[in-house]
Every structure is written in structure tokens, then in C-alpha cells.
A and B are shown apart, each in its own frame.
Chain A
Amino acid sequence: MIVDDSNIIRRRIERSQQIARLEVVGAASNGREAVELFRRTQPDVVTMDLTMPEMDGVECVQELVAINSKVLILVVSALADKATAVDAIEKGANGFLCKPFTDRQLNEALEELLSEA
């Protein structure tokens, strides 16, 4: 599942991810939509933006982990300070990829995430 308030980024992640065992089950444009979609589709892996309207990414990470503690969450955000990455990881995210990113960086980050499973 892809969560980002930018349609371009949602499409970019869907287009660029080349990991055969991953299939995109849905996309959401804010944290609130993401929680609803997560309950319906029960994805194993989530890419999560942080700065979003309605419900931000850190709050959403907490909600998703409360629903399913085994979900793997890759934060994909422009917020480049270390404290934000640490905060997201402490709230339950499993990895952090800083925007802007190349296709290769995205796939490497997803591979690393899956290797934790």
C-alpha cells in the first residue's frame, strides 16, 4: 500500500517498484484514508509519507502498527533531519527513504525492508 498526498509520488512508487513478490493493493492520499484502506486490504508492506493533511504519517504509522504489529513500513519523506527518522522508527516504522529518490534507491530500500521479514 502506498500512502502519499502527492499523486505523482504515488504513481512513481507504483511504477518504479520492481520487486516481483510485491503487488500494489491500493494507495491513499492521507493518514485517515490509509487507515481505512489498511483495514480493508491488509497489506504486508506500506510506504508512508509524513507531511500529509488530515492525519500525518507518524500518527498513521502508530495506528497501522496497532492494527497489525507485523506490517513493514517504509517511510518515504522529504523531512531529512535525523530526529524525524528516529521518531518514525520508534513509532513502529522499519525503514526511512529520503525524497528525492532514484528508482534504485527505492528498490534497495524495499529489499532491505523485506529482508527484515
Chain B
Amino acid sequence: MLKEEEIRTFIDGATNYFEISAQQAATVGSPYLVTDGNPGAYEYTGVIGISGSRKGVVYFSAPRGMLTVLLMRMQETDTSDENIKDLVGEVANTISGNARRDFGKNFVISVPTVIAHDLNKVTAPHSRSYVIPINWRTHSAKLVVCLE
């Protein structure tokens, strides 16, 4: 179960990422709770395993269009599938790593695992997940936080 201020940590991490990396703010919709173990995903998902003081996953999922524009905003000219996958993993890694500012050193994050083109493979380890909708330019993405 996540506390309200813990959800705020991830919201801040997501908005901070877009503001600094893309130099263009994202807006965040109201976070909501999913209880059926299926928070959903877009075409590309970067998954970070969490261990230590908390257990579960944090994942960032976005469509190719958003990730391509984000790469371009970062002055990256190579928008190949490999780089798109690299980016979605890096976004998940950065938001999760930044959360240690509040969660502390024992919030241990894994290297990213990337799931692309197969929405059925994206699953949450527990039935309850918080979904944070992220809107940037004309695109929508989601940050999913599923922690014990």
C-alpha cells in the first residue's frame, strides 16, 4: 500500500524528467488504483524491479510517438527501435532512482527490463497498482507503481 506522499514522489519524478530532459513540462492526471493486477501498457515499457525496503515494480509505459519526439527533444537523431527501447528503460530508471531521495538507500532498483510490442507480457506482481497518467504534448503515457 502506498501513502499519498509516496505517490507524490513518483509524480514529482515524472514531471521533473520531462521538464529537464525535454525542457517541456508534462501534466499528470489523477492517479488511480487498479486492483485486478492488470494496470495496462503502451507499446514500449521500461520495468524496474524494486527490492530491499520495498518490493515490487515501477514501470513507465509509452507509445512510440511520444518516445520518438522525446528523443528528438533531447537532440538525439537516432530514433531506431533500439534507442526507443533504451529511452523507455532510462525514463523508468531515472524516475525510480530519483525516488530514493525520499525512500532512502534501501529502496533498491534493478537495471531496466524493456518489453516492446507485446502488451500481454506487461504484468504487475501484485493485484494492487497505482497508475499515474502522464500527458505530454499530444501523447499519453503511464507510470505504474506496484509496491508491497
Partner-B contacts on A (CB < 8 A): 5-9, 11-12, 15-16, 51-53, 77-81, 83-84, 98-102
Contact = CB atoms under 8 A, between A and B. Distances in A.
B54 interface: no
7 contacts: A8-B76, A8-B87, A51-B111, A81-B105, A83-B104, A100-B21, A102-B23
B142 to A, nearest CB: 19
Interface residues of B, number: 32
A114 B55 CA distance: 40
Contacts of A6: 86, 89-90, 93
A108 to B, nearest CB: 14
Contacts of B90: 6, 8-9
B100 A84 contact: yes
Nearest to B100: A81
Interface hub of B17, B76, B94, B107 (most chain A Cβ within 10 A): B94
Given A6-B90, A80-B98, A102 B104 contact: no
